[in-house]
């Protein structure tokens, strides 16, 4: 995983170069791309440290600004959408980890996703695309809880705790 994360970080150098040329273009055209790049940066940071990357750190990785006043920037909505995509991918990773025999990772993912869900519940989201994506987080939480529950029923979560 560290080698793959390093390789991914090298690709962000190319992204930074491309973002330089996009800074002069109309920002709204690149929303989906920015959201996807936020997800990729967040996933790399999660794999490296099992922490949530900040909006400022993502902006730095991408070579753009975090604040609107400073020019081409990373909107908070784009950041949050990318983070929600991370949650979906981590739900898949939890299932695949069990298949690979890594029983401790789903427990750690569960803790991370539950904290993420708690944070999103504090937000007053409008009835827009971000709200719909947040609604998907509830299903991701449920999916991960089912994985952890299955590990518990099979007695594998004890092995995970001892292994961790």
Determine contact, residues 53/41, Cβ cutoff 8 Å.
Answer: yes
Distance CA 138, CA 143 (A): 9
Q: Is 65 annotated as a binding residue?
A: no
Of 139, 119, 130, residue with least CA distance to 52? 119
Residues in the chain: 164
SS3 label, residue 65: strand
SS3 label, residue 155: coil
Binding-site annotation, residues: 89
Question: Would you list which residues are annotated within the binding site for Mg(2+)?
Answer: 89
């Amino acid at each position: 995983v560290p080698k793959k994360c390093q390789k991914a970080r090298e690709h962000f150098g190319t992204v930074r170069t491309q973002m330089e040329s996009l800074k002069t273009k109309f920002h709204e055209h690149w929303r989906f791309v920015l959201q996807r790049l936020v997800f990729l940066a967040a996933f790399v940071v999660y794999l490296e440290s099992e922490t949530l990357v900040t909006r400022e750190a993502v902006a730095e990785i991408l070579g753009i600004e975090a604040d609107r006043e400073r020019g081409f920037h990373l909107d908070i909505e784009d950041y949050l959408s990318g983070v929600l995509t991370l949650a979906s991918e981590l739900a898949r990773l939890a299932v695949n980890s069990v298949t690979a025999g890594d029983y401790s990772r789903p427990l750690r993912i569960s803790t991370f996703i539950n904290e993420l869900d708690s944070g999103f519940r504090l937000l007053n989201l409008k009835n827009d695309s971000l709200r719909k994506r947040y609604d998907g987080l509830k299903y991701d939480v449920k999916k991960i809880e089912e994985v952890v529950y299955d590990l518990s029923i099979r007695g594998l979560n004890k092995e995970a705790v001892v292994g961790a």
